[in-house]
Structure 1
Amino acid sequence: MIPHQPIAAPDAPLARRNPVAKVAAALVLSVALIATVDPVTPAVAIGFQLAVVPLFGVRYSALARRAWPLLLSALGIFGTLLLFAAERTGTLLWQAGPVEVTTGVLGTALGMALRVVAVALPGVLVFATTDPTDLADALVQNVKAPPRFAIGALAAFRLVPLLAVEWQMVSLARRARGIEAGRNPLARLRLFGSTAFTLLVGAIRRGTRLAAAMDARGFDSGVPRTAARRQRFGAADAALIAGAVLLAGAALGLSVALGTFRPLLR
């Protein structure tokens, strides 16, 4: 099952911050890190992000269990660029047949892999320390997002774990009927596609029923809604966003000072 509940200690200093402030801080870091492809900027950002993990009330082991797909993606990007990069600039470091690893290729591959982790890790921390209901309430109260959008997104987010459960149920039902791919990779691919299509059809039907149920309960009435839990945006929340801006500036400044800054758009 895909986890969606927060895993942070509720009394942790940064876990208590307004959900909108945490999302805004993550966006600030993401935008700054996308601007460059050098490895220094994301490395500095990752180091700081890992250093503040205890302030979010999250254990490193719990964070690793949630972020392992991210780490796997970063390793895949690093290996792909290292082996199949078109430009082989710089000094030759290692060669095995047609594969040549140069300083330019290594820097680009390392920079892209680290950037993926640095951009996505704040989002992992935000959703690991934020209750989805609090996030929807904060979007409506602090950002003035339409309640229909915010509550609909909350309902969809709550239903995400059901997709994993239904995938397992469909797979077990097909196995009980003798529909298995065995060791044939093509059969596995066809079975994967048909299972995904079955899951898509079920998700569309559930979404249609959920939309009708929400409209029947007055979520689209246009009448101003009250909030059961107030989400206040205070000075500490503004300081969190300011800290993210300072971190992004420091990481980019250090990269420029070391001469490694490589803008994405030249």
Structure 2
Amino acid sequence: MPTADRSDPFTQGRVTAAVLIIGDEILSGRTQDTNLRDIARYLGAHGVDLAEARTVADVQEEIVAALNALRSRYDYVITTGGIGPTHDDITADAVAAAFGVELHEHPDIIAMMEARWGDELNAARRRMARVPDGGELVNNPVQGPPGFTIGNVFVLAGVPQIMRGMLQDVGPRLKGGAVVVSRTLRVEGSGEGAVAAPLEAVAKAHPGLSLGSYPFYGQDGFGTNLVVRGRDPGEVEATLTELISVLREAGVANLQVVETPA
């Protein structure tokens, strides 16, 4: 598997993943993707950092190129979309091509389909039973055929509810690292220009952590969320306290620690 960049203390012991979102409907704007958010949160809870996400069209050569690039760089790749019964559902074909293996109809999937559809099991539905040689099934507890995994790649459905169900079978197969914890400091009435220097000073003093600034605007005013992330909860908490102190010394007020997703 790929290894983390040891030159950055924050990446030490890091397990990484990428998401490959497949589908013309995403790129056209017809369908809004929500899977990326759900996958990122799920992986984070298992000690796996989502490091990259790409979206590609229903073009086999593009899927193969993206998949090969991602699977060689990261510990895991999760794909979503393109495993349905229609002509443009070509993810299984692309994954097989990327790994240089053939596709075959998985007998367990065919048995599931025969039990459900009987004589109505047509050629289109049988497309969903194709799995690359050497692949293993990923359980689908919601509806329809399962996904599959081969190498360090997990191939999941694009329908959000079904994808989330499949994720439950992915988690136990992951070899995660230390879970990243985060703390958020909400600074109301001060933009990034006011907090940039104090934030940079604290960030340089703690190279093993990730410190970020995220401005917000709304009817109730504006401000900045400052997020401290790391794998040592004690260090994260101590750094948050230090950040508050440094900001107050710089004359920045209206500070509030809030709970937000990592």
State the TM bucket, normalised to the shorter chain: under 0.3
Which protein is richer in helix relative to its size? 1
Instruction: Tell me which of the two structures has the higher relative contact order, counting C-alpha pairs closer than 8 angstroms and 6 or more residues apart.
Output: 1
What TM-score does the superposition give when structure 2 sets the normalisation length? 0.24
